[in-house]
Amino acid sequence: MKKETLLLHAGRDPKKNYGIVNPPVYHCSTVTFPTLAALEASQASPLGVVHYGRYGTPTTYAFEQGVAALEGAPKCVSAPSGLAAISIAMLAMLKAGDHALITDNAYFPLRKLCNDMLGGFGIEVTFYDPMVGAGIKDLIRPKTKVVWVESPGSQTFEVQDIPAIAKAAHAAGAVVIMDNTWSAGYYFDAFEHGVDISVQAATKYIVGHSDAMLGTVTTTEALWEKVKWTAVRLGYCAGPDDCYLGLRGLRTLATRLARHQETALFLARWLATRPEVERVLHPALASCPGHDIWKRDFTGSSGLFGVVLKEFPKAAVAAMLDGMEHFAMGYSWGGFESLIVPTYPPKVRSATRWPHAGPSIRIHAGLEDPEDLKQDIAAGLKRLVAAA
C-alpha cells in the first residue's frame, strides 16, 4: 500500500464501530475493573492498554497508530504539544552527567529548554553547525547520549546530512532524535535515514487547521517503552478531542501537503527573481544550504520557507507586513492559511555566524489561490521599497 492510501486507513476500523467511518472520541479519567484480579493485572502492565485516562485511551492509541504508519515506524507516543513531545524525547534519553549535541538551527524553545532547565539538571548541551555532516564525530564525547537534528532547520532551513550524522552517533552509542515537523513525516522518512526518535509538532501539518495543540514522539520498538514511561512519569497526556482532530488531519495530509508544496515553490521561485530579495531559503532551491542533500533524501517539500531581504530598515519591513491582505502574521504554521513573520536568525544561534545583514522573513504558503498570494507579496514588496 502506498503511503497516500495507508493514511486513509491507519488508526481506524469501521467494522468494529457499527460501520461508522471515523472512530469515536473516548473521554476518560477512571477506568473501572470488574475484579481485583483484573485491576491488579492492569496495574502490573499498564502500557498500551486502557488502564487510566492519563496512560491513553482508544482515541489516543488510534491517533498514535496513524502517526506511526505515517512515519513508517512501529510505535508512537502522543503529547499535548510539539514542545511537550520534544521534552519527553529529551528527558527519556538524558540524565545528569550526560551530554547532548543540538543543531544550531533547532526550534528555539528547545534551546531555551536546554539552557534554562536541562543545565540545572546536570545535562550538558553543545550546539553544533547544522552542516557538520560526518564531522559530528569530532564533537561526540564519551558522555554524549543524544544527537538532535532538525532538517530543514527552523528559520534558516539548512538541510542536514542525517545518514552521516546517524552513522557517527550510532558508532558512539548515542541516539539520534529528529524534529521532523517540516516534512510532516511525509516527505522525509526519518527511520530509513538512521533516526531513532522522530518528534513532530502535530499542531502544524497533521492537525492542519490551526485549531489544536498536539505532539508526537515516534520511536523504534526498542525505545518506545522508555519514551512512554517518561510521558507517563511527567503526566503528559494529549486530550482526546485533539487526538481526534490529529487523526482526521492525517486523512487529508497528503493532499494538503501537495498543494502547500506547489504554492510554496511557485512563490519561492518567483521571489528568487525579485530585486528586493537577497536569498531564498527553500530546500528545493539551489540557494538553500544542503539543497543537494534534500534532493538525495527527501521526496518533496512543504509550505514553509525563508526569504532574506536586501538591507531595508525595520520601518520598511513593518510597512510591508502590516499591509498584507492574505498573509496573516502569526507563528504556528501548517494550517490552511498563509502566514508571514519576521525572523531574527542571528539571535537564535550560537555555534555559527549568520552571514546576512538584511532582514529575514518566514513564509507559510497556505491553500489560497497562488496568484492571489503572489499579488499580495508583490504589493508588500512595493510598500517595502516605498518606505525605505
Ligand X SMILES: *Cc1c(COP(=O)(O)O)cnc(C)c1O
For the annotated catalytic residues, the residue numbers are 54, 107, 179, 204
Least Cβ distance, residue 82 to ligand X (angstroms): 2
- Cβ–Cβ < 8 Å for 136, 351: no
376, three cell numbers: 499580495
Taking CB under 6 A as the criterion, the residue among 57, 155, 183, 203 binding ligand X is 203
181 binding ligand X? (CB under 6 A): yes
Cα gap 291→176, rounded to integer Å: 21
3 state DSSP class of 157 = coil
The residue sitting closest to ligand X, measured at its beta carbon, is 82
Nearer to ligand X, 151 or 263 (CB): 151
**What secondary structure letter does DSSP report for 307?**
E
Nearer to ligand X, 212 or 384 (CB): 212
154 binding ligand X? (CB under 6 A): yes
3 state DSSP class of 40 = helix
Contacts with ligand X by CB under 6 A: the residue count is 13
- Cβ–Cβ < 8 Å for 265, 282: yes
Least Cβ distance, residue 79 to ligand X (angstroms): 9
**What secondary structure letter does DSSP report for 335?**
S
Cα gap 139→149, rounded to integer Å: 14
3 state DSSP class of 337 = coil
- Cβ–Cβ < 8 Å for 107, 138: no
Using left for φ > 0, alpha for ψ between -120 and 50, and beta otherwise, residue 72 falls in: left
Taking CB under 6 A as the criterion, the residue among 70, 201, 317, 324 binding ligand X is 201
Taking CB under 6 A as the criterion, the residue among 81, 103, 160, 352 binding ligand X is 81
216 binding ligand X? (CB under 6 A): no
107 binding ligand X? (CB under 6 A): yes
Taking CB under 6 A as the criterion, the residue among 10, 62, 83, 125 binding ligand X is 83
217 binding ligand X? (CB under 6 A): no
Q: Give the residues lining the site for ligand X (CB under 6 A).
A: 81-83, 107, 154, 179, 181, 201, 203-204, 213, 215, 332
